[in-house]
Amino acid sequence: MTITERQQLSYIAAQAADARVNLEIETEGMTLNIGPQHPATHGTLRIVAKLDGEQVVAADPVMGYMHRGYEKLAEVRTYPQVTTLINRIDWLGSFANEVPFILAAERLMEVEAPPRAQWIRTILFELSRIANITLFLGDMAVQVGAITPVFFAFRDREHVLNQIEAATGGRFHPNFDRIGGLKDDLPAGWIAETRRAMRKIRNFCDEIEELVEGNEIFQARTRGIGVIPPDVGLSYGLSGANIRASGVDWDVRRDSPCGLVHDQVDWKVWTHPDGDSFARFWVRLQETREATKIVDQLLDGIPSGPIMAKVPVIIKVPAGEAYVETENPLGVMGYYVVSKGDLNPFRVKIRSASFSNVSITPWLLKGVYVPDIITILGSLYFILGDIDR
Amino acid sequence: MIALLAELSYWQITSIRLAAGLVAVLLVAGTLVYAHLFKMVSFMQSRLGPMEAGPYGSLQLLAEIGKFLQKEDIVPRRADRFVFKAAPFVVLTSTFLLLVVLPGGPDAWFITNDLGIYLAMAVSSVSVIGILMAGWGSASKYSLLGGLRATGQLIAYELPLLLAVVGVVIQAETMNLQEIVLAQANGEIFGWGLIGNPFILTQFAGFAIFMIAMQAELTQTPFDMPVAESELVTGYMTEYSGLRFLLFFIGEFATAGVFSAIAAVLFLGGWYVPGLDPTDNLFNVLGPLVLFGKVVVLTFVVFWVRFTFPRFREDQLQRLAWKFLVPLALANIVVTGVLKVVV
């Protein structure tokens, strides 16, 4: 069934259900609350789904159950303290959250991290991407009913988390990035150990490819489900693997690099023409592989030198505005930082990827079956902390 | 054996049978939970499973039962109390009734009935009513969806299950499960009778259909849409707690054991081992153990599949049943019938 046909049918179903409810004859549609406490929502997203039998007539995501007010809290923190907060936005790839904020602050202060710091920053950035997406690859299988892959995901993510911990001291919330560089240099033996971890992740990707991606049932459950045409995806502000799976060749790491050294290595942006749940899974799987390659190449050529630029002890950021966005594990993440020359930012606006990615759900869930809600939500891949900052 | 039983009075025989039935259901269910759910799956998922309670966690199940018994038996306020409370017992009853016709040895049976397999297939449908009761009585939308899905699925897969059995019945010329075992023990495959004729060799298509349909009847992955934990929490079991949840839990594994036992009787020669005289009194002791061994092998396959595959969507599994399994089972019957007449 083509997209337009599907949309048309769902529109007819919606009209029919509304007519039934209005006339108060026959059966009424059923309203099903998925969440806020539900095993499939990775936290507290609530989806109010109006059902006609097992078909969804309308679905509304209700956000805000985990809103923590980070944008406001950032206004009363000094710049180095803000990273502690923003670590908790996308808690599976914490280090990647710090990077765009630090880059924005650096741009305002007109300092640049030394090359060594930039390379290590990029390595940790990609490691947190791997740690994040590895879990997605296992979790997606859970969403369609296979339990085992997620255990493999947790097992192999551990290798990456160990490396992040060895370098930064924190498994989940490294709080490692500083304005002008990094907190510490890498420990001894870290590079060889990280190479080993990357090999394990590549093995994991092969395993997932055989166990999940090649499975007929998985393909039957995901192919053609939740198709996002490129223009619709762009108009809803989708980013990251979600939009690349619709065939849009857009990756901030390649197209507008700032402060990270992705342009120094040889890698590829993967896209998929289909735009369905399977494509989103496939693109993420390829991206994990690609990220291990990026890390491997970066490990080869870490330049020597200091890891910290000359930055005053008490950081006062000159007045001005800066917006920096990076390609985070979940999609494009940007910080708009306004400074009035104080110790703390005047205003921080966080553009998080999941918020935009979830906003497409009312459009996308119309006319699908209840099991497909979970598949589609799983394939869109959001982190609740990333929706409700 | 028969002589010994004949001297006992009715209540003594009934007590023995009751005890044997309880052992046959609970021991099998317990073994499956420990060996497959706790250990095999743990090893598949690169973890150890329970290790603390008893050697290698072998007493973990007792700890779990103790935990469930202590929990409050919660009934939702708007639930239909009687229906809600009765549902797990209906499901478990169906499991016990299934066991009645299973032979464990030449004389080790509960009842021997010329309509044995027919009775088994009939009572296996009773669990559908229990599941529908649970889904409807819970006054929860998740439970209702789960219960309705289960009903649709179980009815759809009853048919291929039954049709797969018909091939065996044609070949054995009887519906009595005891005689089906004997037919396999004394059978020949085109004149070659060294290992008898376990019907898996001649009814391989029927065996495959039976195993697939059985997987669906047990609502195990890839057919676990009714309990789909990532979307319906746990389907019709969502609102249950404490003892009643435990009953569902035991029922799930006991039914897996009993269905596997039926499959073993129909296709793997039941309690019989090739090379021995099937009328030997030894089989009254050895038979149940042999059957149990075959059950463990078959349930291993069931749980292996369960923890490897993702699940079908409702429409996909209905399509599989009606468009693929039923025609294949019918073709199997035709081929079996023709060969029966010709050979």
Q: Chain B closest CA to A328's CA: distance in Å?
A: 26
Residue A23 has pLDDT above 60, yes or no: no
Model confidence pLDDT, tens digit, residues B260-316: 888 988 888 888 887 777 777 777 778 888 888 888 888 888 888 888 888 888 778
- Better-predicted residue by pLDDT, A156 or B21: A156
The tens digit of pLDDT for each residue in A96-120 reads 888 888 888 888 888 888 888 888 8
A218 vs chain B: nearest CA distance in angstroms? 6
Q: Is the pLDDT of residue A27 over 70?
A: no
Q: Mean pLDDT, to the nearest integer, of B236-265?
A: 85
Paired residues of B20 in beta bridges = none
The structure tokens listed for B240 are 């249950």
Would you say residue A367 has pLDDT above 60?
Answer: yes
User: Is residue B336 scored above 80 in pLDDT?
Assistant: yes
The string of DSSP codes covering A33-92 is EE-SS-TTSSSS-EEEEEEETTEEEEEEEE--TT---HHHHHTTS-HHHHHHHHTTTSTT
Q: Which residues of A touch B41 (CB under 8 A)?
A: 148
Contacts of B315 in chain A (CB under 8 A): 369
* Chain B residue nearest residue A150, CA to CA: B45
Q: Residue A262 corresponds to which amino acid?
A: H
How far apart are alpha carbons B270 and B178 in whole angstroms?
A: 9
* pLDDT given at position B37: 79
Q: Rounded distance, CA A243 to CA A237, Å?
A: 9
Best probe of the A interface among B231, B314, B319, by most A CBs < 10 A, is B231
Give pLDDT tens digits for B69-128: 888 888 888 888 888 888 888 888 888 888 888 888 777 777 777 888 888 888 888 888
Q: Is the pLDDT at A182 greater than 50, yes or no?
A: yes
Chain A with chain B: Cβ pairs closer than 8 A: 84
- A41 against A375, higher pLDDT: A375
Structure tokens at A120: 């290590």
Phi, psi of A157 (to 5 degrees): -65, -30
Q: Which of B40, B230, B238 to mutate to test the interface with A (most CBs of A within 10 A)?
A: B230
pLDDT at B157 over 50: yes
Q: Per-residue pLDDT averaged across A165-184, rounded? A: 86
pLDDT digits (tens, 9 = 90+) for A252-261: 888 877 778 8
The DSSP line for B219-233 is T-TTS-GGG-TTTST
Query: pLDDT tens digit string along A311-324?
Result: 888 888 888 888 98
Q: How confident is the model at residue B3, as a pLDDT?
A: 59
Q: Between A33, A142, A217, which is nearest B309 by CB?
A: A217
| Neighbour tally for A255: CB within 10 Å | 10
CB contact under 8 A, B316 and A220: yes
**Strand runs labelled E in chain A:** 30-34, 46-52, 55-62, 177-178, 181-182, 320-328, 331-339, 347-351
Q: Rounded to a whole number, what is the distance in Å from the CA of A155 to chain B's nearest CA?
A: 8
| A100 closest CA partner among A348, A270, A381, A277 | A348
Q: Which residue of B has its CA nearest to A34?
A: B231
The separation between the first and the last C-alpha atoms of chain A, rounded to the nearest angstrom, is 38
The DSSP output letter for B322 is: I
In DSSP terms, A308 is beta-bridged to A181
Residue A7 pLDDT: 65
pLDDT of residue A148: 84
Query: Does residue A328 surpass a pLDDT of 80?
Result: yes
Say if the Cβ atoms of B309 and A211 lie within 8 Å.
Answer: no
pLDDT of residue A26: 53
Cβ contact, residue pair A215, B315, below 8 Å: no
Here the tokens at position A82 are 């803000």
What residue in B sits closest to A208 (Cα-Cα)? B308
Q: What is the rounded average pLDDT of the residues B163-187?
A: 84
φ, ψ of residue B282 to 5 degrees: the values are -50, -35
Cβ of A370 and B230 within 8 Å?
no
Considering chain B, what is the average pLDDT of its residues?
82
Contacts of A149 (CB under 8 A, 6+ apart): A137, A138, A141, A142, A208, A211, A212
B231: chain A residues, CB-CB within 8 Å: 34, 40, 370-371, 373-374
Closest by alpha carbon to B80, among B122, B132, B35, B117? B132
Smallest CA-to-CA distance from B299 within B339, B249, B241, B252 is with B252
pLDDT grade for A41, boundaries at 50, 70 and 90:
low
Candidates B142, B221, B233; nearest CB to A145: B221
The answer to whether A187 and A161 have CB atoms below 8 angstroms apart is no
One-letter amino acid of B91:
V
Closest approach of B173 to chain A, Cα-based (Å) = 38
> What's the confidence (pLDDT) of residue A1?
47
For chain A, what is the mean pLDDT?
A: 84
What are φ and ψ of residue A350, in 5° steps? -100, 120
In this prediction, residue A304 carries a pLDDT of 86
Nearest to B241 by CA among B148, B125, B118, B138: B138
Paired strand residues for A337: A322, A348
Residues of A in contact with B233 (CB under 8 A): 38-39
- Whether B230 sits inside 8 A of A374 (CB atoms) is yes
Torsion angle of the four alpha carbons B143, A368, A52, A362, in this order, in degrees rounded to the nearest 10:
100
Question: In this prediction, does ipTM exceed 0.85?
Answer: no
- Starting at the earlier edge strand, list the strands of the sheet with A55-62: A30-34, A46-52, A55-62
- Predicted TM-score of the model (pTM): 0.80
A371 vs B contacts (CB less than 8 Å): 225, 228, 231, 311, 313-314
